[in-house]
Every structure is written in structure tokens, then in C-alpha cells.
Homo-oligomer: A and B are copies of this chain.
Amino acid sequence: MNMSIYDQYQENKRFVSVDCVIFGYEQEKLKLLVFQRAIEPAKGEWSLLGGWVNANETTEDAARRVLHKLTGLEDVYLEQVHTFSDPKRDPGGSVITVEYYALINIDEKASNLIEDYGAKWHTLEELPSLIFDHNVLVEKALEKLRLRSSYEIIGRKLLPKKFTITRLRNLYDQIFQRKFDPGNFRKKILSLKVLERLEEKDMSESKKGAFYFKFKPKNESEFTDPIFKRSI
């Protein structure tokens, strides 16, 4: 234990964990990686990926650490969602948890490590009942993901390097659980000038083929206004 001027407040110390809502995109479906919990209570039940926050790391460090351990992935996109602190939320004891969501490209290098931990990708519809308040955390992460997706074009991490507009639209359909109009979506996305068209076409979905696009290098303050007005 490090020395600290606050040591007189020892009895105020708390258990702090992180929980990760891991989003991936595969076969035109937005999916979520859930795990079989390794410790009591509720050992073996479906749960978000979580872990203790160690003394000399940030909560984001902790999230990256547990993510790396289970997936082998290095530069995952992470966004802090919310902190949950109901003393009764975890029957094993009073634990404050800081929630993050992660976006990862399933196809890319979905490590076999995942299987070792009894993890499984689920679509949003077939998501099982999770331990504690984890289903609430999933809802909150989705809200945050939707908010972010309405302020910038998300997909850098969820999609492969090259992708069609149709595939990007499908991702948005999944995130918002609604159908975007193909023509209007294309017009909108292209007007934002964040994508660059490649010469190559994806011929697997139509006779005509659809051009592949890739993201232009990200320039910092990407957008400040919402992308869609009433559609989102």
C-alpha cells in the first residue's frame, strides 16, 4: 500500500471495478461480447468483461488491460460511459464500477483467447440475461454509442479497412435499430467528406457492384453538430 496523506481516511476506501461493453460487427449484425464470470458470486453466469482497477492505473488503463488479456487486441477504441455505485448492485459486496464501451472489428483478429474464457458474441436481440445491473449497462452503452454515432461517422474500428456505403448504412441501421433510406444516407455521408472512394468494387452484393470506400485520416475536431437532425 502506498503512503498517502489520506491514509487517515482508510475506512473510506472502496472497491472499484471496470466493466466493458464490447461491440463488434459481423455478418451485418452488431454484436456484443459477453463472458462467463470467473469468480463468485454468480460464477459461470453471463457477464460483461470486468476487472478491478489497480492502484497505479487509470480506469481506462484497467479497461485496456482486461481487454488485452482476453482478446489480445492493442489499440481498441474505448469511451467512458457512466459510473454505477449502488451499494446493492453487486450481491458480493459494495463495488463501484466505471463502465466503458469498446469497438472492435471481429473479422480482423478475433483472438482464440476469447474462446478460452467462455466468451460468446451475441446479437442485441438474442442477448442473454446478464448478472447484476449489466443489462442496464448495456442499454447505457448503446445510448452513448448512438450519441457518438450521431456526432461523427463511427466505423473506423468496427468496419474493415475497405467497405461499401451499404455496409456502413447497415451498421447504422443496427446501431439505431431502424432503417435509413439508402439514397438519403449515401447523400448525407458523402456530403460529410470523411470517406474516400477506392477504385475497387465489391461485386458480391449486386450485378453492378458497389465501390469500396475507406476513411480519410481523422482530423481532430471532426464534427461539432449532430449529423442527422430528426432522423436520430
Q: Taking beta carbons and an 8 Å cutoff, which residues of A are in contact with B?
A: 1-2, 4-7, 9, 11-16, 40-41, 52-60, 80, 82-83, 85-87, 92-96, 98, 225-226, 229-230, 232
Q: What residues of B have a CB within 8 angstroms of the CB of A229 in the complex?
A: 225-226, 229
Q: Among B2, B40, B52, B96, point to the contact of A94 (Cβ < 8 A).
A: B2
A216 to chain B, nearest CB (A): 22
Chain B residues in 8 Å Cβ range of A92: 4-6
**A86 partner residues in chain B, CB cutoff 8 A:** 58
A14 to B58, CA, bound (A): 11
The interface centre, meaning the residue of A12, A56, A83 with most chain B CB atoms within 10 A of its CB, is: A83
Oligomer: number of copies: 2
- Give A98 to B98 CA distance when docked, in angstroms: 9
Given known pairs A15-B9, A15-B12, the reply for A85 and B98 (CB within 8 Å) is: yes
Q: Report yes or no: A14 in contact with B53, Cβ–Cβ below 8 A.
A: yes
Complex CA–CA separation, A14 to B96 (angstroms): 10
B14–A95 CB distance below 8 A: no
Give A13 to B7 CA distance when docked, in angstroms.
Answer: 12
> A94 CA to B230 CA in the complex, in Å?
44
Contact between A5 and B41 (Cβ–Cβ < 8 Å)?
yes
Q: How far is the CB of A133 from chain B (nearest CB, A)?
A: 12
Contacts known (A14-B13, A225-B229, A232-B225); A85 close to B53, Cβ less than 8 A: yes
* B residues in contact with A52, CB < 8 Å: 9, 12
Chain B residues within an 8 Å CB radius of A93: 2, 4-7
Q: CB-CB < 8 A to A83: which residues of B?
A: 59, 80, 83, 98
Say yes or no: B59 contacts A96, CB within 8 Å. Answer: yes
A14 B11 Cβ-Cβ under 8 A: no
Contact of A85 among B58, B85, B87, B230 (CB under 8 A): B58
